[in-house]
Amino acid sequence: MVTKDKFRKLPLSDRYRCLTNYGKFLIARYHGSYVVRLYQIEDYYVEVWLRIGLEQIQWIETINEERQLEVYLDRISLKIK
């Protein structure tokens, strides 16, 4: 399995590969012109940002602060460590 620190050092294509192999999709939200998909890998969370209409990944980032999860908490129960 890939730790959060190792995941953050991977290039975008390897982050995507890791998500498809180990990630569990949780929920999606809209932010401006993006669809943001939240995934869980082991004990950390990852957001995938896709431009609406292009279905192309713009970036994939780990959640680094609890406050970043607040936008999801009204729609889903998340375990925050």
- What is the reported pLDDT for 1? 76
Along the 81 residues of the chain, how does pLDDT read in single tens digits? 789 999 999 999 999 999 999 999 999 999 999 999 999 999 999 999 999 988 789 999 999 887 787 777 777 665 655
Q: How far apart are the C-alpha atoms of 15 and 13, rounded to whole Å?
A: 5
The per-residue pLDDT for 24 is: 95
DSSP 80: -
CA distances from 21 to 4, 24, 33, 43, 79 (A): 15, 9, 27, 15, 21
pTM of the model: 0.84
Q: Looking at residue 35, what is its pLDDT?
A: 94
What DSSP designation does 16 have? H
Cβ neighbours for 66, distance < 8 A, ≥ 6 positions apart: 80
Domain ranges of the chain: 4-69
| 41 neighbors 7 (Cβ within 8 angstroms) | yes
Q: Which CATH code for domain 4-69?
A: 3.10.450
